[in-house]
């Protein structure tokens, strides 16, 4: 991983490339200084090269209406500070050229053929032959501007379902002219783009083509077509190939935390067999150990012991989100301190979810990412003793930030373990990464000599009396218990044949669920708990083979887009999910991950009931009432009335939902409560004692017990540390 490599006349100081991420700092020229500082920290952190977020060669190729095409001297001049910052840190700078095609979130969207993607509200019109040729020319001109801006190369985005991918796939290319009608003609567009770029730049200007090694959508390319394309692109002038996995509209997850590490490296390895230029492995590589094994050929897709005598899967690894989590990833690995790396948990909550809602990308475990010029942890001029109550993630990451600034910090935790809600989350199938995040932050705190006192409940007043100058209350949350007849008795184990428990009692294994379970509450915790109930793997991640089987991914080279029939495991229990709201379940889940959770629950045959009122719990089961009318018709009627702002119709529907109901009994042996949380605060945490209020600071769940939000909790704690 740490050895240098030559590509296209450029020396990469090691084999780690920071992959392209659209941070939201690309869209305005005035944000160039922020982007430069973001890159500077990653370059100084040791990566060999940095690939920018995507820049379109033409206006129509924008991802958003406010994007900035790379097609003028003005933008080239603005980017010199970006490339200079990258070079000052010792890394190469590569500009990604990306035409969104039908993924453009604006009315100017264009594509190979007229169509509309399922992830944008704007239909795309078909490019004319003249426009196709003009777009090809624009790629060459954009590459010239990139060279002028000081970039060492460009990455041509040919994957993830963007415009070039749209030309390559039957799914989106129904043309019958020179740009479609056969696989050979569909390949012409990217080949001509590479030729145009190669002709526009010097020989030592690197052309990296991000090729879709797996489309994972119906009507996508076969492996044979992908490999033939790669051979022709190499002949046209490509210096290296970066791997792209799946379209954004694919119904197969590709980067969420439940995807096994290195899950798609096999496809890159197969590409490597048919080309003579370096290839870059990507997706779900978040530790130096995995990176090293992929590069030296010892990676074992089945897990367990590393294999021996294997061929390398590629010449480089591309890490994107791990570089958001820790700019020092490579430096720490080089120093033999991999255990200190701020571990990317692949949650998408602050990076991709932000990108797809036009917010600036950052990182759940590193809120400074993307905010390097605004959220600074400067050395303190006045060293203070700071006591932190609670060793959940808000307390742990807040303590680290305070210690980094030079304060003397101690953590006091009432229970016998650290992690708070992370301790529960890491038990969910597919969230095993949370274990590493907790281990690594503890290692960093140990290096900074921050003591963690377990089994040590404290109040703010006690800590102030003990000589602490400031107190941070990060004591977290406790599950909220609803009220309806029989529930309290079931929680105490006093109902024959039926038990009740909170999600915390279930996940901590304080209580065990039976075979027929009702999950009350369908937010993020409800979905997590349901997945735990139907597929409890005892904390062991799936192997790549098991994951492929569940989601219908095949290595068969003849299968179009490498898709086959999904074969999920048999559920361990019969589960029914219930929610009070009449809206569709899972609406509040993450933008880029929610669909994965909904799909996993559906695969397990989980029954879902909305519009529920809980009447009682007894030995017969859970008694509920639901609207008497058809739920789907009610949902449609409500949506229509809301859009029309028909208050009279809305009132009528709400009355019907409330008054016209039918009774149901769900014969369960277990009820699990996922009904929200309440803040946990020690005595005097609100500053009621005289002289306490100015020195006590409440963060995380102790401050706001909304749906569990580690992103907000960690940011709040780090922001406090920056100003304390």
Q: What does the alpha-carbon distance between residue 161 and residue 112 come to, in Å, rounded to a whole number? A: 12
Q: DSSP strand E in 419-461: where?
A: 452-453
**Which ranges in 448-523 belong to alpha helices (H)?**
460-465, 487-491, 503-507
Distance CA 611, CA 638 (A): 13
State the Cα–Cα distance between residues 418 and 411, nearest whole angstrom. 10
**Whether the Cβ atoms of residue 173 and residue 180 lie closer than 8 Å to each other:** yes
* CA angle centred on 61, ends 56 and 63, rounded to 5°: 85
**Whole-number Å distance between alpha carbons of 562 and 425:** 32
Tracing tokens 């065990």 back to the chain, one arrives at 512
Q: How big is the chain, counted in residues? A: 724
CA pseudo-torsion sign 317, 323, 325, 327 = positive
The beta strands (E) that lie in 603-679 are given as: 607-609, 613-618, 621-627, 661-666, 670-673, 677-679
All residues at 6 or more sequence positions from 9 whose CB lies less than 8 Å from its CB, including other chains:
203, 204, 206
Q: Can you give the three-state secondary structure of 155-166, one letter per residue? A: EEEECCCCHHHH
| Residue 162: active-site member | yes
Contacts 24+ apart (CB under 8 A), 140-144: 140/196, 140/197, 140/199, 140/200, 141/57, 141/71, 141/200, 142/55, 142/57, 142/69, 142/70, 142/71, 142/97, 143/97, 143/197, 143/200, 143/201, 143/205, 144/200, 144/201
Instruction: Report CA dihedral (564, 566, 569, 570) to the nearest 10 degrees.
Output: -130
DSSP letters spanning 29-92: GGGHHHHHHHHHHHHHTT-SEEEEEEE-SSGGG-SSTT---S-SHHHHHHTHHHHHHHHHTT-E
Q: Is the dihedral of CA 255, 259, 264, 265 positive or negative?
A: positive
Query: How far apart are alpha carbons 708 and 477 in whole angstroms?
Result: 9
CB atoms within 10 A of CB 168: 28
- The token duo for 463 is 């800590």
| Whole-Å CA distances, 596 to 85, 147, 193, 507 | 38, 40, 35, 21
Distance (Å) of CA 593 to CA 63, 206, 350, 356, 598: 20, 34, 12, 12, 9
Quickly tell me which residue has 């009350």 as its tokens.
Answer: 520
CB atoms within 10 A of CB 96: 23
Q: Which is the catalytic residue, given 145, 162, 503, 527?
A: 162
**How far, in Å, CA of 227 to CA of 395, rounded?**
50
Compute the radius of gyration of the chain from its Cα atoms. Answer: 27
Token output for 75? 């933008």
Which residues are catalytically annotated?
Answer: 162
């Amino acid at each position: 991983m740490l050895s240098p490599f030559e590509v296209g006349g450029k020396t990469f100081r090691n084999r780690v490339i920071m992959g392209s991420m659209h941070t939201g700092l690309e869209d305005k020229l005035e944000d160039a200084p922020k982007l430069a500082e973001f890159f500077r920290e990653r370059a100084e952190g040791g990566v060999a090269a940095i690939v920018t977020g995507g820049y379109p060669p033409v206006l129509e190729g924008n991802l958003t209406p406010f994007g900035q095409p790379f097609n003028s001297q003005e933008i080239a001049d603005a980017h010199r500070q970006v490339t200079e910052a990258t070079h000052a840190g010792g890394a190469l700078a590569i500009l990604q050229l990306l035409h969104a095609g039908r993924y453009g979130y604006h009315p100017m969207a264009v594509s190979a053929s007229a169509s509309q993607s399922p992830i944008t509200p704007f239909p795309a019109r078909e490019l004319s032959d003249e426009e196709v040729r003009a777009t090809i020319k624009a790629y060459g001109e954009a590459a010239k501007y990139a060279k002028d801006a000081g970039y060492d190369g460009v990455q041509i985005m040919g994957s993830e379902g963007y415009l070039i991918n749209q030309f390559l796939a039957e799914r989106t290319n129904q043309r019958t002219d020179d740009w479609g009608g056969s696989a050979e003609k569909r390949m012409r567009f990217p080949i001509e783009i590479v030729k145009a770029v190669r002709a526009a730049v010097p020989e030592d200007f690197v052309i990296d083509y991000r090729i879709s090694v797996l489309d994972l959508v119906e009507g996508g390319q076969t492996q044979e077509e992908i490999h033939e394309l790669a051979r022709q692109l190499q002949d046209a002038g490509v210096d290296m190939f970066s791997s792209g996995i799946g379209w954004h509209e694919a119904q197969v997850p590709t980067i969420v935390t439940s995807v096994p590490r290195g899950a798609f490296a096999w496809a890159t390895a197969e590409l490597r067999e048919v080309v003579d230029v370096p290839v870059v492995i990507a997706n779900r590589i978040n530790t130096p150990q995995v990176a090293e094994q992929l590069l030296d050929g010892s990676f074992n897709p089945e897990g367990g012991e590393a294999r021996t005598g294997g061929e390398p899967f590629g010449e480089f690894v591309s890490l994107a989100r791990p570089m958001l989590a820790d700019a020092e990833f490579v430096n720490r690995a080089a120093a033999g301190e991999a255990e200190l790396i701020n571990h990317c948990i692949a949650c998408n909550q602050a990076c991709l979810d932000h990108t797809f809602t036009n917010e600036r990308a950052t990182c759940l475990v590193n809120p400074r990412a993307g905010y390097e010029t605004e959220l600074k942890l400067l050395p303190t001029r006045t060293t203070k003793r700071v006591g932190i109550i609670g060793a959940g993630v808000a307390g742990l990451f807040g303590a680290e930030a305070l210690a980094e600034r030079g304060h003397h910090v101690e953590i006091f935790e009432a229970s016998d373990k650290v992690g708070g809600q992370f301790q529960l989350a890491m038990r969910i199938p597919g969230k095993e990464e949370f274990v590493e995040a907790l281990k690594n932050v503890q290692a960093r705190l140990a290096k900074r000599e921050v003591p963690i006192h377990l089994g040590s409940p404290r109040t703010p007043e006690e800590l102030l009396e003990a000589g602490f100058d400031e107190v941070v209350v990060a004591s977290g949350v406790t599950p909220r218990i609803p009220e309806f007849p029989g529930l309290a008795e079931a929680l105490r184990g006093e109902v024959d044949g039926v038990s009740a428990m909170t999600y915390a009692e279930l996940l901590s294994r304080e209580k065990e669920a039976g075979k027929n379970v009702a999950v009350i509450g369908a937010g993020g915790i409800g979905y997590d708990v349901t997945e735990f109930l139907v597929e409890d793997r005892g904390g062991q991640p799936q192997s790549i083979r098991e994951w492929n089987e569940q989601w219908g991914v095949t290595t068969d080279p003849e299968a179009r887009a490498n898709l086959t029939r999904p074969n999920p495991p048999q559920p361990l229990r019969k589960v029914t999910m219930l929610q009070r709201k009449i809206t569709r379940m899972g609406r509040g889940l993450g933008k880029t991950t929610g669909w994965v959770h909904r799909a996993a629950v559906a695969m397990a045959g989980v029954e879902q009931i909305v519009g529920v009122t809980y009447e009682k719990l007894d030995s017969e089961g859970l008694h509920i009432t639901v609207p008497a009318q058809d739920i789907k018709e009610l949902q449609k009627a409500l949506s229509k009335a809301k859009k029309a702002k028909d208050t009279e119709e809305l009132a009528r529907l709400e009355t019907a939902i409330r008054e016209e109901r039918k009774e149901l009994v769900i014969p369960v042996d277990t009820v699990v409560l996922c009904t929200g949380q309440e803040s946990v605060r020690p005595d005097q945490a609100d500053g009621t004692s005289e002289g306490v209020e100015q020195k006590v600071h409440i963060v995380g769940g102790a401050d706001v017990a909304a749906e569990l939000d580690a992103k907000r909790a960690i940011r709040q704690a780090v922001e406090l540390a920056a100003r304390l």
